[in-house]
């Protein structure tokens, strides 16, 4: 971009900044008494909970090694376009719940480089705001946990800030081109197979680390997290089936399925309904002392996953890797969307669990897994081997190395200037 364009973008950022709610002062983020304090900016988006969960796990891992870091997590769309982000997120949730085919249409368009949010009108709207925000925060490194964030971080580096360090954390078991952009210094990916795929697409091998998708520290502890599970009324002598549908509560809606769970001998089932209050009210009416339990949101998910014998869930990348960390066999229910199908394929190919595309399939695999200890133990053995392939502890080391390299470069530039 020529100097005229850079001047125009900066002037536009300043003009719009006076009236836009995305403006955030330096004092909101940076301790000005510590001018040497490094800032790490993590950009995420609210399309599902997984990208935000990965962002929080990255912040947690960084601060565990260097508590002096200043780590900021921002929702890109909430910051750059607070007027349209609620509508976009509501539309996303509607497609996930009711119109998977429509979601896949847009998903496939993005793989062909046809994402409307990266079109020229949106670039002219978003880039000046992101530039202004970045100049205020002055981050040493930007980490993206959503493809759109990675795209705009790449624009930022290409057009304005060539010395900026960029990291892209791919939060599904995928190698789609929507994640790959110029100027990215480091890719964190799910496994060695995805690393090889990125290399085939032209990414330098030295810039890809197969660390596993980041998960919270509580999932990585060898002992069970400390939590009081008494409110869930789990029977001590029963098999424990955990059912989760993410924050949106994307669970089976057929009440006959839950009546069937209620009647399973020697099994306690817990359905975490999230924001699906309509289903929660229905399940409250049929839960009983013997079988089914239900609740909305839970802060005890790490402990519940450590306790459970089997997990029924949607195929979000974060949830899959939380199950790996917990060595918890899983049944993926009704994978429909592009990344869900790829995550589900990974689970089945690696022998970590099963995929159920119908309620009949789901009942079959639940019965099979809970009635056959040999099958369940085989899944657990495969999960343990997969867990050993993960390099979660390397994630903050890679990030801190990149951050310190950038700091050294800045100091050299100041001396030479």
pLDDT values of the chain reduced to their tens digit, one per residue, 417 residues? 433 344 444 444 444 333 333 333 333 444 444 556 679 999 998 777 788 999 999 999 999 999 989 999 998 888 877 777 666 666 656 666 665 666 565 556 666 666 666 667 777 878 888 899 898 899 999 999 999 899 999 999 999 999 999 999 999 999 888 899 999 999 999 999 999 999 999 999 999 999 999 999 999 987 767 788 988 999 889 999 999 987 666 788 899 999 999 999 999 999 999 888 999 999 998 887 668 999 999 999 999 999 999 999 988 999 999 999 999 999 999 888 778 899 999 999 999 999 999 999 999 999 999 999 999 999 999 999 999 999 999 999 999 999 988 655 544 444 444
Are 385 and 261 part of one and the same domain? yes
- CATH number (domain holding residue 335): 3.40.50.2000
- Residues 6 or more apart whose CB falls under 8 angstroms from that of 136 comprise 24, 25, 26, 29
Q: pTM for the whole thing? A: 0.85
Give the number of domains in the chain. Answer: 2
Q: Report the Cα–Cα distance between both ends of the chain, in Å, rounded.
A: 23
CA distance 328 to 310: 6
Are 321 and 180 part of one and the same domain? no
Give φ, ψ of 354 to 5 degrees.
Answer: -130, 165
Are 171 and 302 part of one and the same domain? no
Q: DSSP string spanning 275-340?
A: T-HHHHHHHHHH--SSSEEEES--S-HHHHHHH-SEEEE---HHHHHHHHHTT--EEEE---SHHH
**Which H or E element spans position 72?**
strand 70-75
pLDDT of residue 99: 58
- CATH number (domain holding residue 150): 3.40.50
Are 170 and 253 part of one and the same domain? no
Are 40 and 96 part of one and the same domain? yes
CA distance 390 to 126: 36
Q: Compute CA 198 distance to the chain's CA centroid, rounded to the nearest angstrom.
A: 19
Q: Which domain holds residue 410?
A: 3-212+392-416
Are 188 and 290 part of one and the same domain? no
Are 373 and 273 part of one and the same domain? yes
Are 265 and 322 part of one and the same domain? yes
DSSP reduced 3-state for 74:
strand
Q: Are 143 and 25 in contact (CB under 8 A)?
A: no
pLDDT of residue 7: 43
> Tokens at residue 243, please?
């059912």
Are 62 and 166 part of one and the same domain? yes
Are 103 and 242 part of one and the same domain? no
Are 47 and 129 part of one and the same domain? yes
Are 369 and 298 part of one and the same domain? yes
**Which H or E element spans position 210?**
strand 208-210
């Amino acid at each position: 971009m020529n100097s005229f364009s850079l001047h125009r973008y900066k002037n536009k950022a300043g003009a719009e900044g006076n009236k836009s709610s995305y403006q955030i002062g330096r004092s909101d983020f940076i301790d000005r008494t510590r001018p040497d304090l490094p800032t790490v900016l993590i950009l995420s988006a609210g399309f599902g909970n997984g990208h935000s969960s990965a962002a929080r796990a990255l912040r947690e891992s960084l601060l565990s090694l260097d508590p002096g870091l200043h780590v900021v997590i921002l929702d890109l769309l909430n910051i750059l376009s607070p007027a349209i982000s609620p509508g976009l997120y509501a539309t996303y949730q509607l497609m996930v719940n009711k119109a998977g085919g429509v979601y896949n249409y847009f998903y496939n368009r993005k793989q062909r480089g046809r994402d409307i949010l990266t079109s020229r009108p949106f670039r002219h709207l978003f880039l000046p705001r992101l530039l202004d925000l970045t100049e205020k925060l002055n981050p040493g490194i930007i980490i993206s946990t959503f493809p759109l964030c990675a795209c705009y971080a790449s624009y930022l580096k290409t057009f304005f800030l060539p010395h900026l360090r960029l990291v892209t954390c791919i939060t599904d078991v995928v190698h789609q081109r929507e994640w790959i952009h110029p100027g990215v210094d480091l890719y964190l990916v799910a496994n060695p197979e995805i690393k090889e795929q990125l290399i085939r697409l032209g990414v330098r091998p030295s810039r890809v680390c197969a660390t596993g998708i980041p998960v919270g520290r509580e999932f990585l502890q060898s002992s069970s997290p400390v939590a009081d599970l008494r409110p869930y009324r789990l029977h001590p002598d029963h098999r424990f089936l955990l059912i989760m549908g993410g924050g949106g509560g994307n669970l089976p809606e057929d009440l006959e399925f839950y009546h069937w769970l209620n009647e399973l001998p020697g099994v306690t089932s817990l359905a975490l309904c999230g924001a699906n209050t309509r289903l929660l009210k229905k399940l409250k009416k049929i839960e009983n002392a013997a079988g089914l339990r239900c609740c909305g949101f839970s802060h005890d998910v790490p402990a519940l996953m450590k306790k459970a014998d089997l997990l029924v869930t949607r195929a979000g990348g974060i949830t899959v890797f939380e199950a790996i960390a917990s060595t918890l066999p899983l049944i993926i229910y009704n994978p429909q969307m592009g990344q869900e199908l790829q995550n589900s394929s990974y689970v089945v190919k690696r022998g970590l669990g099963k995929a159920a595309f119908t309620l009949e399939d789901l009942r079959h695999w639940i019965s099979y897994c809970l009635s056959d200890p040999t099958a369940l133990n085989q899944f657990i053995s495969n999960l343990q081997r997969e867990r050993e392939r993960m390099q979660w502890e390397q994630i903050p080391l890679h990030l801190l190395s990149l951050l310190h390299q950038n700091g050294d470069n800045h100091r050299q530039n100041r001396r030479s200037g």
